[in-house]
Chain A
Amino acid sequence: MQKYVIRRLLLAVPVLLLSSLIVFGLMRVMPGDALIALMGESGNVGQKELAKLRKDLGLDKPYHEQYMLWLWQMVSLNPGDSIFTNEPISVSLKKAIPVTLELAALAMILGITIAVPIGVLSATRQDTTADYAGRVVAVSGLSIPDFWLATLVITFSAIWVHWIPPIGYVSFWDSPWRNLQQFLLPAAVLGYRLAAATMRMTRSTVLETLREDYVRTAWAKGLAGRIVVYKHALKNALIPVVTIIGGQLGTLLAGTFVIEQIFALPGMGRLTVEAILYRDYPVVQTNVMLVAAILVTLNLIVDLTYAWLDPRIRYQ
């Protein structure tokens, strides 16, 4: 197990290096210029002034030097400052990460809490109205884009119940109730997609497991339905469900980009979107690398969870 984890961590290094090259390259080939965005609003941007600013920010150096410098900054956990605000990126991240983490965690909790019971119900009541309803909900969740659902939810909340989550982020530690009001609706919207995929997978794997011989044996022994389904069938049906949840984490993080815009939450998504629009290279590069590192770690955690769920699985 230990060897497996070390090997996976070592394999993560080339993945992250490749990601860093891609994001660095993409930012440089993108048309537009951070300094034009910064200075250009009046149109009177002198070439001398631009050259001076480029030098100050180290943007006049050859690309390979810029890349190596940035890589060193990342390795030494000092990603530098934003071109736009001069704020250290670590400070921006310190503010943004808790917002995104809270949103993603709540979305995941809501998504799984809804998906697994409905998936099981759908499987145990196959081809009934409840099953059809569950499947419609699941298919809708997969087909409705997050931004559209979020817009509908916020608009109709305002019209029908004259309430929307309070705008203007407040941290959980400052005001737990206000913070939860701000997060529940966006987390529900975000969690819906996760719930949809998980619900479908739970349904099909539970259906499959319920047809296994050992489940038939359990029925034959006269065990209670609840014990057969939840104790014998569900645990074994969960491995593909965990895989799908792991796979959905990337989608979940991507979803926060849109949801944070709509619900005005100052998380990683908004920070990155704004940085891309303003060509704030250091911020974009750092954020993308952080997301890449998170995904690599989460995938590893998901892989390790298999062994816990199914003792037959061994890592070598």
Chain B
Amino acid sequence: MPATDPRKPSRRDVSRRTFLKRASWTGAGMTALVVGAGRGRASGQATAAASYPEWIPASTKPPKRGGVLTRASAWDPPLIDPRLTQSVGLYQFAGLTSNRLVRYALSDEAGGPSDLTLKGDLAESWQSDSANRVWTFKLRQGVKWQNVAPLKGRELTAADVKYCYEAYAKEGVQTFTFQEIEGMETPDKYTLRVHLKSPNTLFPQNVAEPIAIVFAREVLEEDGDLKKRLIGTGPYIMKEHSRKVRVVLQRNPDYFDKGRPYIDEYVILSTPDDSTRKAAFRTGQADFIWVASPSEVEVLRKTNPNAVVQAYHNTLAPFGVALAQDKPPYNDVRVRRAISMAIDRQKQVDTVFEGHGIPGWGVPYLYYQDKAPTLKELGPWVQYRPEEARKLLAEAGHGKGFETTLFYYEYFPQMSSQVQLVQQDLKKNLNIDMKITKLDYTTYYGRYVEGKWDGMSWGFQSGHAVGLDERTYHYMYSRSTKNFFRVNDTVIDDLTTKLRRTADRNEQRAITKKIVDREFDQVLRMWMPYDNGFLVFQPHVQNAAARALRRSDGYGSPTLARAWLDK
């Protein structure tokens, strides 16, 4: 009988008993290894997180020309028409293909992450009349559109900007900002005069937002939309846009800022999976990456010990508990205050954000004070005081608690833990039964912005804006279409309107502080702890640091016009 006869016993037979025994020992060994590795990581992270700087100053070396900067990106632009989207997927590069009238200081010009100085971009200067209703922008002369058909390098004029702003006001997602323009004139090729419907001292900040890029009229007229071509005046020309594959930007040799940009090509690789993005960074396929937590930084640094880490400066929290405050029981300020006091924010900072995070506020603190507020400074209703919370809720007639709902979309993994901690706190301290519904993005977004929901939502404010006007009037004025938290407070309405009419910087700070105090006193938006995370760069990447509210891989991409590769 041949050796392959299956019925013949073999000398290498392994009994089931032996096999199970060996498998158990192997399993036990593996478990011990995993547990050991986990412990090692946890103990090292707290000390490391504290040591990462919030700012990386500009390199003192002379910049080198050339090279290719590559990044694995979570975002794929849904479409490239700036009238139709404010998605970071588009603005991770649109600020490099196109310019705005004015801009914020770039990394090599800024004194630190909090520097929000306005600089001229397409405009050389700008000023308003005494009533702050007419703004005159003097454009830079000799700015050329990119040398691509149908523009073919023709000169940019004030009429181009006028056309663009009119298109923004006519339709799309930017109508709220641009519909405040009553009319525009172009007395000459290089002057744009903007007449506003009401005074606004903060109008230049609004047109400095990355979403206010100036697009080419010829493209809109020829194509009927801007979904196929993105042609601007910026430092990079869009050479390729293959959806779900890559965006390739090529240096614009005719860029008005002579000698810049330094890098020849910027390649953004569409990489939806987080572990793949990290693997790309580890293997050098990506030059920089954003990670959420200190422990993730530590894990990355094990394979890339020379990586340069920037702790992204926390200036605000974009997420918080939004209450249907136009309906009972949340239209009662006592209920809002009780809920706020029943939530242990410090516990969230310590556990969910590994001790590296802020307790949460909505208006960037830079606009009203120099240092980030502590939990204590945010007022009495933010402190964790469950006893007082219980009493206050009883006073409001809900001593036995009540049932409510909360829906959310998980923007980042830690968010689900936060939601569950809030649920736990409210049940334990106030006997509020909160039913949580986790939704996909589109369902969440549709329901949230429609603003007709009951109960609670894990609310947000958009991430694209830096400006004070956007962060106050646009998000809190009762009749604003961006008032997602359903704030309806006459004091806030008066203050935000007054702020727009106030030119003096110190007065602006004082009014902003009043707005913030009022917001916290009335618990109009119940901010939750947040951490902006970390940017990790390969050691050869220079001048790409993120500024406050401006991540270099996102809405802050224009700063990459000043980045260079030291290799």
User: Does B associate with A?
Assistant: yes
Chain A interface (Cβ < 8 Å from any Cβ of B): 30-34, 36-46, 49, 84-87, 92, 123-130, 132, 151, 154-155, 157-159, 162-164, 166-169, 207, 210, 219, 224-226, 228-229, 261-264, 266, 270-271, 274, 277-279
| Other contacts beyond A44-B175, A124-B6, A167-B276: 13, CB < 8 A | A31-B439, A38-B84, A39-B84, A42-B176, A42-B481, A44-B481, A151-B273, A162-B303, A164-B280, A164-B283, A210-B6, A219-B1, A226-B4
A264 with B10: in contact, given A40-B445, A43-B449, A167-B285 (CB under 8 Å)? Answer: no
Chain A residues with CB under 8 A of B450: 36
Of A43, A85, A125, A127, the residue contacting B462 (CB under 8 A) is A43
Chain A residues with CB under 8 A of B442: 32-34, 36-37, 277-279
CB distance from A38 to the nearest CB of B (A): 7
CB distance from B168 to the nearest CB of A (A): 11
Q: Which of B175, B282, B444 has the most A CB atoms < 10 Å from its CB?
A: B282
Judged by a CB distance under 8 angstroms, whether B275 is at the interface is yes
Q: How many A-B residue pairs have CB under 8 A?
A: 177
Could you pull out 18 A-B pairs where Cβ atoms are within 8 angstroms? A30-B443, A32-B440, A40-B445, A43-B449, A85-B79, A92-B243, A124-B6, A128-B12, A129-B14, A154-B273, A155-B278, A164-B283, A168-B269, A207-B6, A263-B273, A264-B272, A266-B244, A271-B244
CB distance from B240 to the nearest CB of A (A): 10
Of B225, B242, B440, B482, the residue contacting A42 (CB under 8 A) is B482
Chain B residues with CB under 8 A of A42: 86, 173-174, 176, 462, 481-482
CB pair B282–A266 under 8 Å, yes or no, is no
Q: Which of A45, A158, A159, A163 has the most B CB atoms < 10 Å from its CB?
A: A158
Q: How far is the CA of A129 from the CA of B72 in the complex (A)?
A: 44
Judged by a CB distance under 8 angstroms, whether B78 is at the interface is yes
Chain B residues with CB under 8 A of A86: 225, 227
A84 with B78: in contact, given A33-B446, A42-B173, A210-B6 (CB under 8 Å)? Answer: yes
CB pair A164–B285 under 8 Å, yes or no, is yes
Interface residues of B in 458-483 (CB under 8 A from A): 462, 481-482
Of B243, B245, B267, B270, the residue contacting A85 (CB under 8 A) is B243
Q: Which of A38, A42, A155 has the most B CB atoms < 10 Å from its CB?
A: A42
Q: How far is the CA of A130 from the CA of B10 in the complex (A)?
A: 11
How many chain B residues have a CB neighbour from A under 8 Å? Answer: 62
Chain A residues with CB under 8 A of B4: 124, 225-226, 228-229
Chain B interface (Cβ < 8 Å from any Cβ of A): 1-6, 10, 12-14, 19, 72, 76, 78-79, 84-87, 171-176, 225, 227, 242-246, 267, 269-273, 275-276, 278-280, 282-283, 285, 303, 439-447, 449-450, 462, 481-482, 484
CB distance from A70 to the nearest CB of B (A): 20
CB distance from B85 to the nearest CB of A (A): 6
CB distance from B26 to the nearest CB of A (A): 11
CB distance from B103 to the nearest CB of A (A): 20
CB pair A41–B86 under 8 Å, yes or no, is yes
Chain B residues with CB under 8 A of A125: 6, 10
Q: How far is the CA of A33 from the CA of B447 in the complex (A)?
A: 9
Of B3, B79, B279, B482, the residue contacting A84 (CB under 8 A) is B79
Chain A residues with CB under 8 A of B10: 125, 127-128
Chain B residues with CB under 8 A of A270: 244, 272
Chain B residues with CB under 8 A of A124: 4, 6
Chain A residues with CB under 8 A of B72: 167, 264
Chain A residues with CB under 8 A of B276: 154, 164, 167, 262-264
Q: Which residue of B lies closest to A152 (CB)?
A: B275
CB pair B227–A37 under 8 Å, yes or no, is no
Q: Which residue of B lies closest to A42 (CB)?
A: B173
Q: Which residue of A lies closest to B475 (CB)?
A: A43
CB pair B272–A261 under 8 Å, yes or no, is yes
Q: How far is the CA of A99 from the CA of B445 in the complex (A)?
A: 31
Chain A residues with CB under 8 A of B443: 30-32
A277 with B441: in contact, given A262-B273, A270-B244 (CB under 8 Å)? Answer: yes
CB pair B482–A37 under 8 Å, yes or no, is no
Of A39, A132, A159, A207, the residue contacting B172 (CB under 8 A) is A39
Chain A residues with CB under 8 A of B278: 155, 158
Q: Which residue of B lies closest to A222 (CB)?
A: B2
Q: How far is the CA of A294 from the CA of B280 in the complex (A)?
A: 34
Q: Which of A124, A132, A167 has the most B CB atoms < 10 Å from its CB?
A: A167
Q: How far is the CA of A14 from the CA of B358 in the complex (A)?
A: 58
Q: How far is the CA of A30 from the CA of B444 in the complex (A)?
A: 12
Q: How far is the CA of A184 from the CA of B450 in the complex (A)?
A: 46
Q: How far is the CA of A271 from the CA of B442 in the complex (A)?
A: 16
Q: How far is the CA of A83 from the CA of B227 in the complex (A)?
A: 12
Q: How far is the CA of A86 from the CA of B229 in the complex (A)?
A: 13
CB pair A264–B273 under 8 Å, yes or no, is yes
Chain A residues with CB under 8 A of B280: 158, 164, 167
CB pair B244–A274 under 8 Å, yes or no, is yes
CB pair B6–A43 under 8 Å, yes or no, is no
CB pair B242–A266 under 8 Å, yes or no, is yes
CB pair B282–A31 under 8 Å, yes or no, is no
CB pair A132–B14 under 8 Å, yes or no, is yes
Q: How far is the CA of A158 from the CA of B281 in the complex (A)?
A: 9
CB pair B13–A219 under 8 Å, yes or no, is no
Of B76, B446, B482, the residue contacting A36 (CB under 8 A) is B446
CB distance from B189 to the nearest CB of A (A): 32
Chain B residues with CB under 8 A of A40: 173, 445-446, 449
Of B2, B227, B439, B449, the residue contacting A45 (CB under 8 A) is B449
Q: Which residue of B lies closest to A154 (CB)?
A: B279
CB pair A225–B13 under 8 Å, yes or no, is no
Q: How far is the CA of A155 from the CA of B279 in the complex (A)?
A: 6
CB distance from B247 to the nearest CB of A (A): 10
A277 with B5: in contact, given A42-B176, A42-B482, A167-B271 (CB under 8 Å)? Answer: no
CB pair B3–A225 under 8 Å, yes or no, is yes
Q: How far is the CA of A40 from the CA of B270 in the complex (A)?
A: 23
Chain A residues with CB under 8 A of B87: 41
Q: How far is the CA of A263 from the CA of B270 in the complex (A)?
A: 10
Chain A residues with CB under 8 A of B84: 38-39
